[in-house]
Amino acid sequence: MDPIAKSLKSTSVSAKIERRGKLITQLCTMVIVLLVIAIFAFIASKGVAIFGQDHGSVLDFFTKTTWNPDKQDAYHRPLIGALPMIVGSFAVTLLSVIVATPFALAAAIFMVEISPKSGKKFLQPVIELLVGIPSVVYGFIGLVVIVPSVQKIAGGSGFGILAGSLVLFVMILPTITSMSVDALKAVPRYYREASLALGATRWQTTYKVVLRAGAPGIMTAVIFGMSRAFGEALAVQMVIGNAILMPTNLASPATTLTSILTMNVGNTIMGTTANNALWTLALLLLLMSLIFNIIIKYLAKRGELK
Amino acid sequence: MTQEVITAQDVHLFYGKKEALKGISLDVRQHEIMAMIGPSGCGKSTFLRCLNRMNDLINDVTITGNITLEGQNIYAPATDTVKLRKKVGMVFQQPNPFPFSIYDNVVYGLKIAGVKDRQVLDEAVETSLRAAAVWDDVKDKLDQSALALSGGQQQRVCIARVLAVKPEVILLDEPTSALDPISATQVENMLLELCSQYTMVIVTHSMQQASRISDRTAFFYQGDLIEMGKTKDIFLNPKNKKTEDYISGRFG
């Protein structure tokens, strides 16, 4: 065989490297996908055990308010009323997002529309710093500063949904802000020019064009903040009071799914009813974060179509 | 008939230290189409953007000289750019409708000016879209997104959006360069219709377009205004060698 035909038919070195690189990336991706599937399958199988082998009632789980998985009711079903922590989780999440969104949006508008220079110089680093603070520090500050203040204003012990929401507010503020900044930055410059050229003021342009065009991105930011708030465990657990009671007001001790999990998971024995009940809470958390992710994907898709 | 609407005297513009306009003096007369031609980077778009102060949005720009609109210096400290831009509308190179419905696009300028009367808005939408020769294309889908239209239709909606504010002068920055030839012809015909009511300044890269639609033409080169005159004279008897070279396609 002549050398040219030979060199054409044999695989070149660069093609071999290419194939090897592709193989490595595919392997790594597969490991990650398998890991996610394994976690999901594990939590799902553990999470439904309470309804199978322990004869728990799904209806009780979502509607009853007594959480005492070791004890049984008259029908020999474990007492797994998770409503107090479900309500607690949703309450702190919604409240913190409602408080944080206006602040985050205002900061984002300032950083993108009003003063990009000082925004980049001061606000950006401050917000990045907020992200880096460990959640135990937030919880500690909440314990020392926020709980006593709530106690002074609202009475009671100070522990409760209000304190939890305020801690979460600071924790999700940077998330919502930096994602809103990205959303506003993604609004093309020519929308702003068109608006200004029609005789709009800068505020009218921001309010009527930029915010409207960036709405899907801002919604994504808010949902992302909610998903963070819903999943945060430690800081909330430190200030919410951890009483498995239906919250009657914002300043009475309550609890969330995550705080029950972190508090009790070390005190139960694998395979017991009490342990299985905790797995069910974990499954609920996982499903919620899945739902948040689906909403984010949906919003992103709708934003692209426009 | 030869009343000056815009007069520019010795306009210099600097981006930082770089001089982009080197003393431009020209006037735009009422109800004429003034074309500005020249190679890329010659300053014609920059000059156009001086006329409604869009260059204010760019950092580090210095402008000297005088530009008056109906006798008022638009660079006077007391000038309200919001009011100025209502009088001097602008159409951009890329069709840039807002990601709203066609209706909301056309009424945008009126709504921000505080017009709330539904009937006034409805009428403005129809007259503006008719004037922009796009009414028949869109009358059945006013509530649909303007982004679903073709490029030519989008550009005409953008022109309707400007017309709705009832400006006196319309600045057009290469309005057809992103459009196919058929859409471009439709936009050109529409501009010819409009010039009985509006004063227009158009920047264009197409010399055929300049010769087809404009009354007068100004040729820019490297920040200087080389020659200005009746379009016919510029194209048939250019006085300056550079103008002649450019329009005959020897450079640029």
The number of beta carbons lying within 10 Å of the beta carbon of residue B215 is: 15
Stretch B88-103: mean pLDDT, rounded? 92
Interface predicted TM-score (ipTM): 0.88
- Looking at the domain assignment, is residue B138 inside a domain? yes
What is the CATH classification number for the domain harbouring B81? 3.40.50.300
Q: Kindly report, residue by residue over A185-201, the tens digit of the pLDDT.
A: 999 999 999 999 999 99
Which comes out higher in pLDDT, residue A94 or A1?
A: A94
Q: A118 falls in which pLDDT band (50, 70, 90)?
A: confident
Q: Report the residue from B84, B90, B99 with minimal CB separation from A213.
A: B99
- Looking at the domain assignment, is residue B155 inside a domain? yes
Q: What is the mean pLDDT of chain A?
A: 90
State yes or no: pLDDT of A306 exceeds 80: no
Contact residues on chain A for B113, CB-CB shorter than 8 A: 199
**What's the pLDDT at B1?**
47
State yes or no: pLDDT of A161 exceeds 60: yes
Q: Where are the beta strands (DSSP E) in A162-286?
A: none
- Give me the percent of chain A exceeding a pLDDT of 70: 98
Question: Cβ contact (<8 Å) for B108 and A208?
Answer: yes
Cβ B214 vs Cβ B51: under 8 Å? no
Contact residues on chain B for A188, CB-CB shorter than 8 A: 96
Q: A1 falls in which pLDDT band (50, 70, 90)?
A: low
Q: How many CA atoms lie within 13 A of A134 on its CB side?
A: 4
Q: Kindly report, residue by residue over B157-176, the tens digit of the pLDDT.
A: 999 999 999 999 999 999 98
Domain count, chain B: 1
Q: B25 falls in which pLDDT band (50, 70, 90)?
A: very high
What domain range includes position B201?
Answer: 4-247
* Overall pTM > 0.95: no
Q: Report the residue from A188, A193, A198 with minimal CB separation from B108.
A: A198
The number of beta carbons lying within 10 Å of the beta carbon of residue A215 is: 17
Return the number of CB contacts < 8 Å for A and B: 67
Structure tokens at A139: 């919880």
Stretch B198-206: mean pLDDT, rounded? 92
Question: Cβ contact (<8 Å) for B112 and A191?
Answer: no
d(CA B66, CA A27): 68
- Looking at the domain assignment, is residue B252 inside a domain? no
DSSP letter at A158? S
- Looking at the domain assignment, is residue B172 inside a domain? yes
Q: Kindly report, residue by residue over A66-85, the tens digit of the pLDDT.
A: 888 888 888 888 888 899 99
Cβ B33 vs Cβ B202: under 8 Å? yes
- Give me the percent of chain A exceeding a pLDDT of 90: 59
State yes or no: pLDDT of A235 exceeds 70: yes
Q: B110 falls in which pLDDT band (50, 70, 90)?
A: very high
d(CA B242, CA B222): 11
